[in-house]
């Protein structure tokens, strides 16, 4: 059994951070309670739209397994680039359909571009994994 390292200061820091997190959750709950029905509806709508986009983005690169063997037969990197570009376009289109509008402010654009970067990285990693699995067979 491992003994915790860090001593008194480490445990004190953990407790302080835990209470700060608990306080922030409480403040968020109170703000949600005080918010009007329009605000709560907007929050829930954003949450479900984001979850639908996340599900689409997570499942999309696994569809590449259907035609990845043909791309590997071609032997060119341009086929992979085109596939990743196509996956990114589908991510953008599905995100725009779910958003129903262009991002308005700087924070929305930053969040949208960060989400697209994460989705693109995920697409790349999954297609690399699938290519390694297809070459191994």
- Domain positions in the chain are 42-136
* Secondary structure class of 35 (helix, strand, coil): coil
Residue segments in the chain with a per-residue pLDDT below the cut of 50: 1
Q: What is the pLDDT of residue 127?
A: 83
Query: How far are the Cα atoms of 53, 62, 81, 108 from residue 112, in angstroms, in the given order?
Result: 12, 22, 22, 6
Q: Give the span between the Cα atoms of 57 and 66, in whole angstroms.
A: 17
Q: How many residues does the chain have?
A: 137
Q: What is the pLDDT of residue 87?
A: 87
Q: What is the pLDDT of residue 60?
A: 87
The predicted model scores a pTM of: 0.63
């Amino acid at each position: 059994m491992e003994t915790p390292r860090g001593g008194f200061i480490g445990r004190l820091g953990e407790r302080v951070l835990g209470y700060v997190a608990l306080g922030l959750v409480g403040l968020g709950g109170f703000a949600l309670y005080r918010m009007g029905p329009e605000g709560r509806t907007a929050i829930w709508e954003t949450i479900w739209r984001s979850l639908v986009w996340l599900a689409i983005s997570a499942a999309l690169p696994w569809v590449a397994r259907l035609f990845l063997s043909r791309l590997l037969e071609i032997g060119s990197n341009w086929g992979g680039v085109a596939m990743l570009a196509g996956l990114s376009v589908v991510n953008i289109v599905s995100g725009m359909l779910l958003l129903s509008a262009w991002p308005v402010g700087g924070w929305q654009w930053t969040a949208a571009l960060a989400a697209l970067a994460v989705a693109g990285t995920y697409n790349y990693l999954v297609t690399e994994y699938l290519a390694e699995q297809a070459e191994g067979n």
